Amino acid sequence: MSTLTKILIVLLTISSIFLCGIVVTYVANADNYRDQYNKQRADRDGLQENVASLTEQLNNKIAEKDDLGGRLSREIASLNTQISTLKRDLKAANEEKKILVQRVSNMASVVETSSQTAGEQGQLLKDTLAELNKLQAEQIKLSAELDDTSAMLLEKFAIIQTLEIEKKRLLEEKTELQSRLDRLFLPTGKLPTAPVIVTPEKDIARPTTVTARDIGLKGLVTAVDLKNKMASISIGTADGVKEGMKFHVIRGDKFICDILIIDTDAEEAVGALELVQEQPRAGDVVSTEL
């Protein structure tokens, strides 16, 4: 055997060993890549299921919020009607009370000047006083019903705000899961499909805002309820304030917030706080014009 033949045999042996090493390395790496691919595909499928579940929950919450918002709007309209009726009844009771008080005064003077009909006038006076007491009791009852109705109205507004917060939280969770799904798709060269919102968002039902720019009303904040986001002002229906008007709260030259009027009285009005930049306080100026 020649030297050249031996050299060729040695080179062939080394090449075979090197080729075997390459094959073993390739097989090992192929198994590793396959495991990574299977794991990423399982993670992607899990995230897609989570996104689908959260999307369904979000749609259910949105539908529930819309349904509850509609029912609350109808209840609020009904409560506003009841409040108006109670105010009219209270006003009528006050007027009747004034008439009865005047009658009592007149009867008292008649009793003092007419000794012959003292017995009849005394009985009439007692009946009138009893009727007056009855009207006062009805007035107290109407006032209590008005307070209960206002409290129910504030509770409905709180429920709507709670539903808005829950809706925002679900949207944030959906966005986070979509981002994670995008990161899993990018290594494979695929692009995820953009989520489609099935149910459009709807605004909360609010009272129609009355344009009051031409009136130019001004007053002061008399009380603030930060817990319920409510405030009262020093002017009322006697000054031209109506439900649905919007007042701007100003401190010096600085805008504080808006007040949307939801209930009015002769001397004052109550509204919900909007666009709050700072916490309002008693003494701040309110105006329909900035």
Higher pLDDT, 116 or 56: 56
Tens of pLDDT, residue by residue over 19-53, are: 887 877 776 666 666 777 788 888 888 888 888 88
User: Which domains, from first to last, does the chain contain?
Assistant: 1-192 (1.10.287.1490), 218-287 (2.40.10)
pLDDT digits (tens, 9 = 90+) for 215-253: 579 999 999 998 889 999 999 999 999 999 999 999 988
For the chain, give the number of residues: 290
Establish how many alpha carbons lie within 13 A of residue 175's alpha carbon, considering only the half-sphere containing its beta carbon. 6
- With 50 as the cut, is the pLDDT of residue 202 above it? no
Q: Which of 94, 191, 108 is nearest to 143 (CA)?
A: 94
- What is the C-alpha to C-alpha distance for residues 78 and 178, in angstroms, rounded to an integer? 43
Distance CA 222, CA 255 (A): 17
Classified as helix, coil or strand, 201 is: coil
**pTM score, whole prediction:** 0.30
Q: Which two tokens mark 96?
A: 């009747």
Whether 115 shows a pLDDT value over 90: the answer reads no
Q: Taking residues 110-116, what's their average pLDDT?
A: 67
pLDDT given at position 271: 94
Least confident of 17-26, 146-155, 220-229, 281-290: 146-155
CA distance 217 to 290: 11
- What HEC string does 66-108 produce? HHHHHHHHHHHHHHHHHHHHHHHHHHHHHHHHHHHHHHHHHHH
Give me the mean pLDDT over the 75-88 stretch.
89
Paired tokens of 208: 């129609």
